[in-house]
Amino acid sequence: MKHLPKHLRPRYRYLWVRIEAWPDADVGRRALQRAVWAEARGLFGDAGSAAIDPTVVQFAFEDGAGTAAVRVRRGEVDRGRAALACVAALDGDPVGIRIQGVSGTIHAGEERYMRARPEGGSEKTVVFGGVERAAVVRSDRVDVRTDGAFAGATDLDLGR
Amino acid sequence: MYEAVHARPDGESTVARMAATAADCGFGGIVVRNHGGERAEYDADAIAERYGVDVVDGVEIRAADTSRAGGYLGSHRPERTVVLVHGGDPAINRFAVENARVDVLAHPMAGDGDVNHVIAEAAAEHGVALEVDLSPVLRASGGRRARAIADLRKLRELIDHAGAPYVVSADARSHLQVRAPRELVAVGEVVGFDREAIEAGMAEWKRIAARNRERLAPDYVEPGVWRAGSGDAGAEDGNAGTREEEP
């Protein structure tokens, strides 16, 4: 179909998101897309989710940390924000969603919010709770492997 | 604005990790609200210095009946800055709001719990804050979430009507469950709270902590009154004139 003339095209805003998860989480773009739609629909119904029209336009995720950009219709930023905030898990993996900011274009948002990408994690052995354990360390944040799960910690918790 | 969190061993993340995440999200402080038997160990000063987040020592009293709740209240109150009661049971809800030594009635609508005008008015009379717990909106879905939203709408109307104090929280049990103040405002709007109301509820934790720290200070007698020779504990508040000399 022919593109709409510029003045008739929908106007959008872009929500720039940081995603946090445990290091073994396997999270994909489609999972985020599904989750945002489901939350928008759950909170605002079919009509509301159509009005917000949340669409994942950028996505990167590795070793428990990632970034995404979610496009919503202009004027629907608050409802889009609420839907994103309610994304608690992706494909069963719990996630932390941190909205860094909102931009009017992808280009402006990339410049402003995606300059510093989350650094990769490294496997290390740490002492946590008096026991040596494997951990994934990303700057001062430490995800310690405990029996069958992870514990979220920082370097302040290590060595004791 | 403050958030109230469950840290290890009551949650999945340490107090330090919770504080680091809260700082990223723009909170000024966290209240550690571990249940009574699952106390967290941490160095509040080191965490505050590193992350710039005030760490408030709290406890959430969880008891099967009101007499045990009363016992726990007596033992925790003298040493904890913020005392919450794990609500969600009609008798416990009632016990909490009728007891001025309780700071916050946590998640009063959870489980079999309910709030009516009597509970809300008792909370207002005794200065016990009712918790607006956004966690089921953030983390549940379908019918459970719909019921939770309906309950929160009811709670809001009762709080408004009675003029009861209230706090707002996402009740995070891991750093992944922490959501920033702006996000909680957006979610609060879904439930019928306006921006100012949610922000006031997040700020209320801070106010409670500040008030109780003052009360826990060794020279405190009653609001605006300190024992003489105690330094300038209240002078910056302009209360110096109301100080009493001890006989």
pLDDT value of position B240: 43
pLDDT value of position B178: 98
Q: Determine whether the interchain pair A85/B178 forms a contact, defined as Cβ–Cβ distance below 8 Å.
A: no
Could you give the CA distance from residue B129 to residue A82 in angstroms, rounded to a whole number? 25
Could you give the CA distance from residue B159 to residue B198 in angstroms, rounded to a whole number? 13
Task: Identify the three-state secondary structure at position A57.
Answer: strand
Point out the residue among A44, A81, A157 whose CB comes nearest to the CB of B16.
A157
Residue A12 pLDDT > 70, yes or no? yes
Which residues of chain B lie closer than 8 angstroms to A79, CB-CB? 186, 190
pLDDT tens string B166-194? 999 999 999 999 999 999 999 999 999 99
Give the residue from B153, B176, B187 with the most A CB atoms within 10 Å of its CB, the best one to mutate: B176
pLDDT value of position B216: 83
Q: Determine whether the interchain pair B137/A151 forms a contact, defined as Cβ–Cβ distance below 8 Å.
A: no
pLDDT value of position B222: 77
Point out the residue among A78, A98, A154 whose CB comes nearest to the CB of B20.
A154
Task: Identify the three-state secondary structure at position A102.
Answer: strand
Q: Which residues of A2-21 are buried (b: 16+ CB within 10 A; e: fewer)?
A: eeeeeeeeeebbbbbbbbbb
Could you give the CA distance from residue A30 to residue A37 in angstroms, rounded to a whole number? 11
Q: Determine whether the interchain pair A97/B179 forms a contact, defined as Cβ–Cβ distance below 8 Å.
A: yes
**A36-40: average pLDDT:** 97
pLDDT tens string A71-101? 999 999 999 999 999 999 999 999 999 999 9
pLDDT value of position B47: 97
Q: Determine whether the interchain pair A152/B175 forms a contact, defined as Cβ–Cβ distance below 8 Å.
A: yes
pTM value is 0.91
**B58-75: average pLDDT:** 95
pLDDT tens string B123-138? 999 999 999 999 999 9
Assign residue B231 a region (left: φ > 0; alpha: ψ between -120 and 50; beta: otherwise): left
pLDDT tens string A92-133? 999 999 999 999 999 999 989 887 776 778 899 999 989 999
Q: Where are the domains of chain B?
A: 2-203, 217-247
Q: Determine whether the interchain pair A38/B141 forms a contact, defined as Cβ–Cβ distance below 8 Å.
A: yes
CATH code for the structural domain at B2-203: 3.20.20.140
The C-alpha of B127 sits at a distance from chain A's nearest C-alpha, in angstroms, of 31
Point out the residue among B47, B50, B138 whose CB comes nearest to the CB of A88.
B138
